[in-house]
Structure 1
Amino acid sequence: MLKKSYTATGKKCRVTFHYPNHEQVASAALAGEFNGWSVTETPMHLLKTGVLSISVTLDAGREYAFRYVLNGQHWVNDPEADKYVRNEFGEENSVVVV
């Protein structure tokens, strides 16, 4: 699930990414265009509800491709992304529109 909260000026948007931890993974990260697809820069946090979560502030008026990286190697999409785009590996990336 993607939760969006815009600043008063509308130039920035704080996006909270949620991913259900059905796989009971040991670690998860958010990788995307906004962090150079780093698998370590944006680690997700396990909430008491069992959901993995992280919030990032993004420039509004753009679209950003992203994926979740589970246990440092398994790349998955957000089932509730705004849309999906094909990537250079023949797979799809999730996209958040802000």
Structure 2
Amino acid sequence: MLERKLLKDRTQVTFVLPADTPPGPVSVVGDFNEWKPGTHVLEPRGDGMRAVTVGLQAKSVHPFRYLAVGDYWFDEDHADGHDGTNSLLHT
């Protein structure tokens, strides 16, 4: 799930997944962090989910994917689109 908060010239995007699906650490990896795993790791939050928030330039498109333990890559079900390989996020 994606949560968005519009700011003056940026959009805060929170990437949200269930706390235990998939199990183990998960990071969101995309053009906004040079595709470096571990840069934005989802952390537990009080509602039984886990999340990480990233500030992105407004009115832009960002490809991304999730990476879990065991080199398990997966997409966001609620992404704004898909380019054949990656989920797409429109800010």
1:93 and 2:48 aligned: no
* Structure-2-length-normalised TM-score: 0.89
Structure 2 residue runs of 5 or longer lacking an equivalent are none
Residue equivalent to 1:2: 2
Alignment of 1:11-50 (within 5 A): 11-50=9-48
Residue equivalent to 1:59: 57
Structure ID, larger Rg: 1
How far apart are the structure 2 equivalents of 1:19 and 1:84?
A: 18
Residue equivalent to 1:71: 69
How many corresponding residue pairs? 91
Instruction: Give the percent of matched residue pairs that are identical in Structure 1 and Structure 2.
Output: 25
How far apart are the structure 2 equivalents of 1:60 and 1:72?
A: 33
Which letter does structure 2 place at the counterpart of 1:75?
W
